[in-house]
């Protein structure tokens, strides 16, 4: 799995940072979390294909998280997309898209399946599942947690050969957790491989104030991507604006047992975010402050932060 940061600024873009958007690539598809203005250009620069996006999850209806969506849909139509696109978000997002369509006849070449965000499972396919949890912000807002299930089991070729299963596509099926029939005998994945690894999960806060229940929602996540609009110095301002500080993000990471904390959604006042990273690291050492086009690669049990997207193969 790869996580690409396409926008890491709060409210307004800066020279270096676009507004919020995170692109997650799994084995068979891509998923987009929030869609700040300028998203299309960020996708172009990152060399990512918008057609691969199977579902878009919008945390809330503040402009800096959603203004890139209409342009993305139009581009998908120009690329003659045929596959259905799922969009998850609040009722207001649905109205937003309906009003665009009504006033501008978007003339899309594909179907949109709209799912209203709510606490619990909001999206599932063979490969992934996404859960949502309401956050505390100045408008209805959700955090999301993506689980990737379809992971290869550790396979034992010698056991497979003993059972007379020829090397090839059947091995792959077993490794991916499917049972097969060979010479009339049912072979289960357990007979030739270890039990499946637990799913990888990536959690994204969207915009939120600090509150304890959110920690439960993130419990045991591999990567926690937490908004960090302000430094600890501005804790009062964060409370007032219903945003989080570096220390609050780090506290959530620590208490939820995350493996890696990635800070994003920085106020434009921070030209250099190293200070923010340092503040969080005092509480949760495995912290990194995101920048645009940073990539986090998760492979087996390794989580690697790669600054240059071109090296994120």
- Options 5-13, 82-90, 115-123, 155-163: segment touching a second copy (CB under 8 A): 5-13
**Judged by CB under 8 A, which of 104, 188, 233, 304 binds a second copy?**
104
> In the range 224-243, which residues lie near a second copy by CB under 8 A?
none
Task: Count Cα atoms within 13 angstroms, Cβ side, for 9.
Answer: 21
What are all long-range contacts of 279-283, with beta carbons under 8 Å and residues at least 24 apart?
Answer: 279/231, 279/232, 279/245, 279/246, 279/247, 279/250, 280/228, 280/246, 280/247, 280/249, 280/250, 280/253, 281/250, 282/247, 282/250, 283/247, 283/250, 283/251, 283/253, 283/254
Contact indicator for 77, 110 with CB cutoff of 8 Å: yes
Would residue 216 show up in a list of annotated catalytic residues for this protein?
no
- Options 73-81, 119-127, 142-150, 178-186: segment touching a second copy (CB under 8 A): 73-81
Closest separation in Å from C-beta 152 to a second copy: 34
**Judged by CB under 8 A, which of 51, 67, 254, 305 binds a second copy?**
67
Which residues are bridge partners to 260 per DSSP?
223
Question: Is 89 a residue that touches a second copy (CB under 8 A)?
Answer: no
**Judged by CB under 8 A, which of 29, 51, 52, 70 binds a second copy?**
70
Six-digit token pair at 128?
A: 């992934």
Contact indicator for 17, 276 with CB cutoff of 8 Å: no
> In the range 10-49, which residues lie near a second copy by CB under 8 A?
11-15, 18, 37-38, 40-41, 44-45
Give residues in contact with a second copy (CB under 8 A).
11-15, 18, 37-38, 40-41, 44-45, 61, 63-64, 67-68, 70-71, 74-75, 78, 92, 95-96, 99, 103-104
């Amino acid at each position: 799995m790869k996580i690409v940061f396409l926008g890491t600024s709060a409210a307004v873009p800066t020279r270096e940072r676009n507004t919020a958007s995170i692109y997650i690539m799994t084995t068979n598809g891509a998923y987009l979390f929030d869609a700040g203005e300028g998203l299309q250009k960020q996708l172009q620069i990152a060399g990512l294909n918008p057609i691969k996006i199977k579902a878009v999850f919008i945390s809330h209806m503040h402009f800096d998280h959603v203004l890139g969506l209409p342009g993305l849909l139009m581009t998908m139509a120009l690329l003659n997309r045929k596959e259905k696109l799922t969009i998850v978000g609040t009722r207001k997002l649905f109205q937003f898209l309906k009003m665009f369509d009504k006033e501008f006849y978007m003339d899309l070449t594909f179907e949109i399946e709209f799912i209203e965000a709510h606490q619990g499972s909001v999206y599932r396919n063979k490969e992934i599942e996404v859960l949502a949890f309401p956050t505390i912000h100045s408008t209805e807002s959700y955090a999301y947690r993506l689980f990737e299930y379809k992971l290869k089991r550790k396979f034992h070729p010698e056991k497979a050969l003993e059972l007379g299963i020829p090397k090839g596509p059947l091995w792959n099926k077993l490794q991916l957790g499917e049972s097969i029939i060979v010479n009339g005998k049912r072979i289960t994945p357990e007979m030739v491989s270890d039990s499946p690894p637990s799913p990888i999960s990536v959690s994204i806060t969207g915009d939120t104030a600090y509150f304890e229940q959110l920690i439960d929602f993130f419990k045991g996540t591999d990567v926690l991507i937490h908004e960090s609009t302000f430094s600890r110095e501005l804790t009062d301002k964060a409370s007032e604006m219903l945003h989080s500080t570096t220390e609050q993000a780090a506290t959530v990471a620590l208490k939820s047992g995350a493996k890696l904390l990635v800070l994003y959604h920085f106020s434009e006042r921070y030209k250099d975010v190293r200070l923010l990273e340092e503040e969080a690291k005092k509480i949760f050492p495995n912290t990194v402050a995101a920048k645009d086009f940073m990539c986090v690669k998760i492979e087996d049990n390794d989580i690697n932060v790669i600054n240059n997207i071109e090296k994120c193969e």
